[in-house]
A and B are shown apart, each in its own frame.
Chain A
Amino acid sequence: MTNTHVDYQLSQLDQLEAESIHIFREVAAEFEKPVLMFSGGKDSIVMLRLAEKAFFPAKLPFPLLQVDTGLDFDEVLSTRDSWVERLGARMVIATIDEAIKAGHVVDDGKTSRNRMQIGTLLGAIEENGFTAAFGGGRRDEEKARAKERVYSHRDDFGQWDPKNQRPELWSLYNGRIHAGEHMRIFPLSNWTELDIWSYIHREQIEIPSIYFAHEREVIERDGMLLSVGPEIQPKGGEKVETRMVRFRTVGDRTQTGCVESEATDTASIIEEIAVARVTERGATRGDDRFSEAAMEDRKKEGYF
């Protein structure tokens, strides 16, 4: 048993943990059919850890939903499998290819797989009748997200209406929805990137190995370092080089760039972040770079 707290102080990281656990329990208690949207990235793994804590020793009272882009890194999938096995969690996998067949999304050859995730995700939520979907979004990620509620209401079309959000007061969350609508839930709303890493460090949480520095064949394209693979091949004057890199986010491997890094453990990553001069999205997500308002547009359509 831990010692008596003489000062009754809770550190900010413990306060964030307590808040997130509260949100998980509230959703499990009030929604008929919640689901946790699992991307395999560090944020969704931290969500899993918090959910594990919220319901221990019971199993998670909801399944995990993953949108399989067909372009996920192998390291991400193997970490996912290890988590799912340890927690005995149920897993629902929605693939973009099946969504294309089912007509939820159209592959016109111009749309990125990341963007096609929207239709795939909404299709899976609708087909399975999920009423609440946990997402790993954080308000510090991007300007449009700074205004999103913890409980973010989505209409029949899965869309977010930023001008018509419900007020959210105290820790009293309003989970009322009509048939056909669902709620996005963001238990990590108040966490920053540094908080996430510090928590991974403290709890020694298993995350995909590509977050840590390793040697990889890369090419430089539009100022981003992309991993050479079946889909990414050098064109024009592009040169394949082996560099020491790590990924800061783990999306679709054709869209996700890596950064040069020597950080092979969590403490070194935290050191890097503490002095980082570029936000994690700005650095490595091709899909956010098209316009300043890119994220806002995708959110309105029903993106995470």
Chain B
Amino acid sequence: MASTPQTQSSAGEEAAAVTENADLLRFATAGSVDDGKSTLIGRLLLDSKSIFEDQLEAVESTSQSKGYDYTDLALLTDGLRSEREQGITIDVAYRYFATPNRKFIIADTPGHIQYTRNMVTGASTADLGLVLVDARQGLTEQSRRHAVLLSLLRVPHLVLAINKMDLVDWSEEVYEKIHREFTQFATKLNIPDLEVIPISALQGDNVVNRSENTPWYSGPTLMHHLEHVHVASDRDLVDTRFPVQYVIRPKSDQYHDFRGYAGQVAGGVLKKGDEVVVLPSGMTSTISKVELFDTEIAEAFPPMSVTIHLEDDVDVSRGDMIARPKNAPKPSQDIDAMICWMTNEPLKPRQKLAIKHTTRTGRAMVKDIQYRLDVNSLHRDQEAGELGLNEIGRVQLRTTVPLLCDPYSKNRTTGSFILIDEATGVTVGAGMINSGS
């Protein structure tokens, strides 16, 4: 008694096809309270028609009751009550909007110095980072810090949006100066793709619609860039990495001998007939079947969640990794990584923590804190000795279980880990692996 009668609406069919076939861009926004970040996001939502009548009415009436001259679009995104009271954004919030070609997931992160951990969280899954600066202020310590964090998290695309251009009379000189300064600073970072866009979030110039106030600017509008930036080639389709998440054994009469290794592809392409190695055991076998739900598929690639079958009855369990015999990560217990520390109690040498890397969990001990990175000056303080809240540094760890890892610069999935306080259970650190040995 299926109660989904099919079709009468061709417009609906079309809308469904668009939603089904659109691709996805995840981006993180960074900027301080006064840069107009919430206003910009409100503007993107409004101009892409992702805001509903009742939401808009609610912020219009709030704006009026506060005596503002214009509708404060920032109210659309400032969610929690304490934030509305303080007028600031205190936690990562996720927003959604779509255009006919793309769906967008925004990780909206606060810009204050004490919230580096939120910025790192938002950037960890982002394809693109959007840094806002106030045209009147130019580059601040904070905007530099945001760029450093995005670079450290290997967010492949960066947009520098120079906001409030209306308040500097749409001056090309101001735009050029900030552009130049930033490009100079960025040479020290890892930013493969940069776009600098002059905008006014409040008035909408160059956000969705091209501005008549910037005839000297020939680049894309922000929305055009977000819609067209090429992200497909950011994935690694060469180095096969399949962290085994779950072993499916139905133990039913119908599927008596079924043994499938379920997981999400972290790198490369897996297909029937591929010779593979299972780590850390080093046993080899051949893929006999790749399945998605009840259907055999020809190939699996990132970020598909699939089930792999092997020809041989080798011992495989959660935490193992399937790779290729001639292209596999080396199991490592000595890990060299950049760590962002996220809790009040500082990270110190000899400290012991739980570590989660792909589907593997173990314990880790801090052997050495090599240096603390000053994210404003990029200076490396080798005398630091510890890492405080929201500080980032290079750390050597020894783990109880070997990690099947790659450098973070090669693979953001197999190159990342989190550290967990064993007493409180709280996530206290985020790690990006330089190398393992």
Contacts and interface: CB of A to CB of B under 8 A. Distances in A.
Interface string A163-178: 1011111111010111
A270 B9 contact: yes
Interface in A140-168: 140, 143-144, 146-147, 162-163, 165-168
Interface in B220-247: 232, 235, 237, 245-246
Given A5-B301, A26-B245, A282-B54, A57 B4 contact: no
Contact of A206 (B4, B91, B269): B4
Contacts of A12: 19, 22-24, 102-103
B426 interface: yes
Contact of B15 (A169, A274, A282): A274
Given A206-B3, A264-B8, A169 B121 contact: yes
Most chain B CB neighbours (cut-off 10 Å) among A144, A171, A200, A202: A171
A149 B269 CA distance: 30
B367 to A, nearest CB: 22
Contact of A11 (B5, B10, B23, B93): B23
B118 A269 contact: no
B250 A59 contact: yes
Contacts of A207: 3-4
B124 A277 contact: no
Interface string B90-126: 1111111010001101000000000001101100110
B52 A54 contact: no
Nearest to B237: A8
A58 B252 CA distance: 8
B303 A146 contact: no
A178 B421 CA distance: 12
B94 A18 contact: no
Given A192-B98, A195-B19, A206-B3, A22 B8 contact: no
A45 B223 CA distance: 34
Contact of A267 (B2, B12, B232, B293): B12
A204 interface: yes
Contacts of B258: 57-58
Interface residues of B, number: 96
Interface string B347-366: 00000001011110000000
A217 interface: no
Given A26-B245, A279-B54, A147 B254 contact: no
A85 to B, nearest CB: 11
B305 A25 contact: yes
A55 to B, nearest CB: 6
A277 B46 CA distance: 12
Nearest to A283: B54
A143 B15 contact: no
B21 A174 contact: no
Interface of B: 1-13, 15-16, 19-24, 52-55, 58, 77-82, 90-96, 98, 102-103, 105, 117-118, 120-121, 124-125, 232, 235, 237, 245-246, 248-252, 254-255, 258, 262-264, 269, 292-299, 301, 303-305, 307, 318, 342, 354, 356-359, 412-413, 416-418, 420, 425-427, 430
18 contacts: A25-B263, A58-B255, A143-B77, A167-B118, A167-B430, A174-B425, A176-B354, A178-B425, A190-B96, A197-B16, A198-B15, A201-B16, A204-B2, A205-B4, A265-B4, A268-B8, A270-B9, A272-B12
Q: Sorted from nearest, which 10 A-B pairs have the closest CB atoms?
A: A176-B425, A267-B12, A271-B12, A143-B79, A198-B19, A282-B54, A12-B24, A21-B305, A58-B250, A268-B9
